């Protein structure tokens, strides 16, 4: 796929959603970090239901750490893998409190040093909370990038590195949201809505990559 097609794809996706937002509910970088950690292998909707009850009780590292694993668990037990996530959220809260003066770091190295925070989670926080042009490759972005031929790759890291190179500069900061939301609502894993796809005519490999 050439750069002209990529530019037009991003232009159309941006036109549809000129002000894309994370679908996780949060008001601070710490709330976002906790929500993203909880969202692994879970839906944003399920996380939002849980955090709507949790954050009024505790939305700072000190408050969450004070809950402990047993105190946090009832708030998040409706979310998949909640036991391990509870341990990670308590541990990262304690580290933020003790090592980072309760401030969520704005760099990858420190973020990825926190329990439960991998590259994808760090990318989301850096992009959404701090406005950095990172791209968190989830299942939606991985699928769209390969299915359309926009940035094919065998692994999420392959796709991320390709996207960083080929997404036009004008669209890089919000590209994470535009591609993700297109995959979530149009270019779905099953029964993609090709009839209403705004970029279908620009896609490559679309027939063999529809699964």
What residues are labeled active site?
120, 138
CB 99 within 8 A of CB 92: no
Q: Is the dihedral of CA 23, 170, 132, 122 positive or negative?
A: positive
73 token code pair: 């668990």
Closest CA relative to residue 139, chosen from 124, 126, 150, 155: 155
Give the number of other Cβ atoms within 10 Å of residue 207's Cβ. Answer: 8
CB 111 within 8 A of CB 117: yes
d(CA 58, CA 179) in angstroms, rounded, equals: 32
Q: What's the count of helices (H) and strands (E) in the chain, helices before strands?
A: 10, 0
Give the number of other Cβ atoms within 10 Å of residue 86's Cβ. Answer: 24
């Amino acid at each position: 796929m050439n750069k002209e097609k990529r530019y037009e794809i991003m232009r159309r996706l941006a036109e549809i959603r000129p002000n894309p937002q994370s679908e996780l509910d949060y008001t601070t970088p710490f709330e976002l970090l906790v929500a993203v950690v909880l969202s692994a292998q879970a839906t944003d909707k399920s996380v939002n239901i849980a955090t709507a009850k949790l954050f009024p009780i505790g939305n700072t590292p000190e408050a969450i750490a004070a809950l402990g694993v047993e105190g946090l668990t009832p708030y998040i037990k409706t979310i998949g893998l909640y036991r391990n996530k509870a341990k990670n959220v308590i541990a990262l809260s304690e580290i933020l409190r003790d090592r980072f003066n309760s401030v969520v770091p704005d760099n990858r190295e420190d973020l990825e040093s926190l329990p439960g925070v991998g590259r994808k989670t760090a990318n989301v926080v850096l992009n959404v909370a701090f406005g950095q042009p990172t791209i968190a490759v989830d299942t939606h972005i991985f699928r769209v990038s390969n299915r359309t031929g926009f940035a094919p790759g065998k692994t999420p890291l392959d796709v991320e590195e390709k996207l960083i190179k080929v997404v036009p500069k004008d669209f890089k900061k919000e590209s994470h949201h535009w591609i993700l939301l297109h995959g979530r609502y149009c270019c779905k894993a099953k029964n993609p809505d090709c009839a209403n796809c705004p970029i279908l005519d620009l896609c490559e490999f679309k027939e063999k990559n529809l699964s």
